[in-house]
Amino acid sequence: MLDVLYAVLVAPFKDMAGSPAFLIEVLIGGLFAGLMYSLVALGFVLIFKASGVFNFAQGVMVLFAALTLVGLLERGAPVLLALGLTTAVMVALAFAIERIVLRPLVNQEHIILFMATIGLNFFLEGFGEMLWGANVKKLDIGIPDRSFIVRGVQINQLELTAAVTSAVLVALLALFFQRTRIGRALRAVADDHEAALSLGIPLKTIWVVVWSVAGVVAIVAGLMWGAKSGVQFSLSLIALKALPVLILGGFESVPGAIVGGLIIGVGEKLGEVYWGPLVGGAIENWFAYVLALAFLLVRPQGLFGERIIERV
């Protein structure tokens, strides 16, 4: 009994103190992974905020964007043109989704819309693979997957680029939301649909914009994840990785998605490296969920979620 307690409560911390450089490496790895999770979670949050739809298809949108990008690159399009075309495809997709799926389902219960996005998930998966083929593809965006060493700590160049890109994207999104006319309209819709409608904000346009923005976020996420692990079906499963980030950060909060992602990323890496071997490893599938769950029991609305006030 004492041995178990020692192994769980003392030994991991002793290991951490034993080699600080390794600990920092693990932490940095966790932060990078966390930023990537945040990128996916961000797409969820944007759509949930503006339309109240829990968009399960976000993961497949990432896959679809990456597939389109790789497909265009393989056919010899230059990088910038391919990026532009992919963006156009994602915007067109947003239009189609608003017109075909969301508009007929307006005012339905949340769970019905959630189900519709799972239907969308199936459809896009089949569609993307039919267009571009199902085999694993390499996405080469010209950043070498090399590591360099700063004061004894390994840093991966690709991960660093991904982190910087995510940070820039988040900053741009924040500017977009705070400073532009459309951004203000988006925030108004997120705050109160009916009030926004009565002020003359066109809800349908807002939905198209928000799904387009989520599509662009999906492109960036697809770019980063694709460069790291190849473009293949499993890319759509990162949506499942983003879910604990969501409940930790709150469905409605952009900063929550970022901070939640970082916490999950670091927590997951630490758990995997220091506690994982105790139970035989491969805990990355569920550890993040349990972490988020433990957190939720203390704060049911998530880290930055709006305070839940319930009335009868």
Partner 1 sequence: MIYREAGQFKSSYADDQAIFPVVQDRVVVAAAVSAAFVVPPLVASEYWLQAVLIPFLVYALAALGLNLLTGYAGQLSLGTGGFMAVGAYSAFKLATAFPRLSIIVVFLLAGLVAAGVGILFGIPSLRIKGFYLAVATLAAQFFLIWLFNKVAWFTNYASSGTITAPDRTFFGALVTGPNSTPSARYLTALGLVAVFALVAKNLVRGRIGRSWMAIRDRDIAAEIIGVRPLRTKLLAFAISSFYCGVAGAGLVFFYLGTAETLAFDISISFLVLFMVIIGGLGSILGSFLGAAFIVLVPIVLSNAPRMVGLALPVALQKQIELMVFGGLIIFFLIVEPRGLARLWQISKEKLRLWPFPH
| Whether the Cβ atoms of residue 284 and residue 272 lie closer than 8 Å to each other | yes
Residue in 18, 76, 297, 307 binding partner 1, rule: CB under 8 A = 297
97-116 residues near partner 1, rule: CB under 8 A: 100-101, 104-105, 108-112, 114-116
| Whether the Cβ atoms of residue 197 and residue 50 lie closer than 8 Å to each other | no
**Shortest distance, CB of residue 40 to partner 1, whole angstroms?**
14
Residue in 144, 147, 290, 306 binding partner 1, rule: CB under 8 A = 290
**Shortest distance, CB of residue 52 to partner 1, whole angstroms?**
10
**Residue 8 interacting with partner 1 (CB under 8 A):** no
User: 135 vs 198, which CB is nearer to partner 1?
Assistant: 135
Which residues are CB-neighbours of 177 under 8 A, at least 6 positions away?
183, 186, 187, 254
User: 50 vs 185, which CB is nearer to partner 1?
Assistant: 50
Q: What are phi and psi of 76, to 5 degrees?
A: 90, 10
User: 120 vs 162, which CB is nearer to partner 1?
Assistant: 120
32-71 residues near partner 1, rule: CB under 8 A: 54
User: 270 vs 292, which CB is nearer to partner 1?
Assistant: 292
The residue written with tokens 């293949």 in the block is: 232
Q: What span, in angstroms and rounded, lies between the C-alpha atoms of 72 and 80?
A: 11
**Residue 120 interacting with partner 1 (CB under 8 A):** yes
- Provide the CA 122 distance to its chain's centre, in angstroms: 19
- The pair of structure tokens assigned to 190 is 């997120």
User: 21 vs 290, which CB is nearer to partner 1?
Assistant: 290
User: 2 vs 111, which CB is nearer to partner 1?
Assistant: 111
Number of residues that bind partner 1 (CB under 8 A): 49
**Residue 282 interacting with partner 1 (CB under 8 A):** yes
Lay out the site mask for partner 1 across 188-227 (x = CB under 8 A, - = otherwise).
----------------------------------------
**Shortest distance, CB of residue 77 to partner 1, whole angstroms?**
23
**Residue 277 interacting with partner 1 (CB under 8 A):** no
**Residue 172 interacting with partner 1 (CB under 8 A):** no
b/e burial code for range 250-262 (CB count within 10 A of at least 16 → b): bbbbbebbbbbbb
**Residue 275 interacting with partner 1 (CB under 8 A):** no
Distances (CA, A) of 276 to 33, 37, 195, 292: 17, 20, 50, 17
Residue in 23, 25, 74, 127 binding partner 1, rule: CB under 8 A = 127
Residue 129, CB half-sphere, CA atoms under 13 Å: how many? 14
**Residue 283 interacting with partner 1 (CB under 8 A):** yes
User: 28 vs 267, which CB is nearer to partner 1?
Assistant: 267
- DSSP letter, residue 7: I
Q: Which residues pair with 147 in a beta bridge?
A: 156
Q: What span, in angstroms and rounded, lies between the C-alpha atoms of 28 and 23?
A: 9
Which residues are CB-neighbours of 186 under 8 A, at least 6 positions away?
49, 50, 177, 206, 209, 210
Q: What span, in angstroms and rounded, lies between the C-alpha atoms of 82 and 95?
A: 20
Please give the residue ranges that form the binding site for partner 1 (CB under 8 A): 54, 100-101, 104-105, 108-112, 114-116, 118-127, 129-130, 134, 240, 243-244, 246-247, 251, 279-280, 282-283, 285-286, 289-290, 292-293, 296-297, 300, 302, 310-312
